[in-house]
Amino acid sequence: MPENFGDDVFEVAQRIVAHSRYYAGRMGSFFFTRLRDEKKILGVRCDKCNRVLWPPRSTCGRCFSELSEENLVEIGPEGTLEAFTLVTYCEPIHPRQAPFVYGIIRLDRADTGIVHFIGGLDFEKAKIGMRVRPVFAETRRGNILDIDHFEPL
């Protein structure tokens, strides 16, 4: 068997398909059920930090306070666009077909942003600081796409 390997190249194409099921947890369950059933968006208030966080969570990352149902507060529904981009390329993993706009929206009364699609606007007219409102999906299932997208006021 010679040491000379030549130019042979052997490659194999494979794929891994993994089916997951993510549990929203205590606070996440409140958030998604209120979103689905009442079209209300909840955040959670950390009294120690004096901040309202989205998404609602059981521990404040900064001060480690325990947060629970009584700390939930309604935020939005309107908000301010803090950043955005136009996606023009396609990847199988993308949830929407390009081109689409998505950005970070700071809902009224929240101190952190939410990433979501921005629709119903001409990309040239998008501006940081624009006011937007959620457009809810007709059929809601208890996930983040129960909000279909945000549109300019």
Partner 1 sequence: MPSEERGRELISIPMTVEVPYRFAAGKYMTKFLMELRDNGKFYGIRCPVCKRVQMPPRIVCAVCHVQNTEWIELSHEGTLVGFTIMYLPLTDPTTGKPHEPPFSYGSVRLDGSDSVIDHMLNIEPDIDKIRVGMRMKAVLRPREQRVGDLSDIVYFDPISQ
Partner 2 sequence: MKRNVAIIGGGQTYHAARRHDVNQIEMVNEAVRAALADARMTIDEIDTVLVGNMEFFEGTHMTDCWLVDGTGAYGKPGLKITTGGTVGATIVCAGAHHVASGLFDKVLCIGFEKQEEGDTGAILSAVAHPLYGRSMAGAAVGYFAMMGTSYMAAWGAREEHSAMVAVKARQNARKNKYAHLKLDITVEDVLNSRMLAYPIRMLDMCPASNGACAMILTDEKTAVDRCRKPIWIRAMDTAHNEQFELDWRDVTTRKPIFSKVSAGRLYKRLGVEQPSEYFDVFEIYEPATWAELVWYEDLGLCRPGEGFMLIEEHKTEMDGPIPVNPSGGVLSTNCIGASAMLRVWEAALQIRGDAGEHQVPRDVRRALATAYGGTNWTVLTALSSKKDD
- Going by their DSSP bridges, the two strands 131-136 and 147-152 should be labelled as antiparallel
Q: Which stretch binds partner 2 (CB under 8 A): 36-44, 51-59, 93-101, 113-121?
A: 51-59
Region of residue 6 (phi > 0: left; psi between -120 and 50: alpha; otherwise: beta): left
Residue 34 has, within 13 A of its CA and on its CB side, a CA count of: 18
AA identity, residue 12: V
Residue 143 binds which of partner 2, partner 1, none (CB < 5-8 A, kind-dependent): partner 1
Q: Does 28 bind partner 2 (CB under 8 A)?
A: yes
Determine, following the binding rule CB under 8 A, whether residue 24 of this chain makes contact with partner 2.
yes
| Assigned token pair, 114 | 């939410």
Cα distance between residue 134 and residue 40, in whole Å: 10
> With CB cut-offs between 5 and 8 Å by kind, which of partner 1, partner 2, none does residue 59 bind?
partner 2
Helix (H) or strand (E) holding 73, with range, is strand 72-74
Which residues contact partner 1 (rule: CB under 8 A)?
1, 3, 5, 8-24, 28-30, 32-33, 92, 142-143
Q: Mark 2-19 as b/e (b = at least 16 C-beta within 10 Å).
A: eeeeeeeeeeeeeeeeee
> How many angstroms from the chain centroid is the CA of residue 74?
17
Nearest approach in angstroms of CB 81 to partner 1 is: 26
* Contact partner at residue 142 from partner 1, partner 2, none, CB < 5 to 8 Å by partner kind: partner 1
Choose between 64 and 89: whose C-beta lies nearer to partner 2: 64
The answer to whether residue 23 forms part of the interface with partner 2 (CB under 8 A) is yes
Options 2, 3, 7, 22; binder of partner 2; rule CB under 8 A: 22
Query: Which stretches of the chain bind partner 2, using CB under 8 A?
Result: 10, 12, 14, 16-26, 28, 57-62, 64
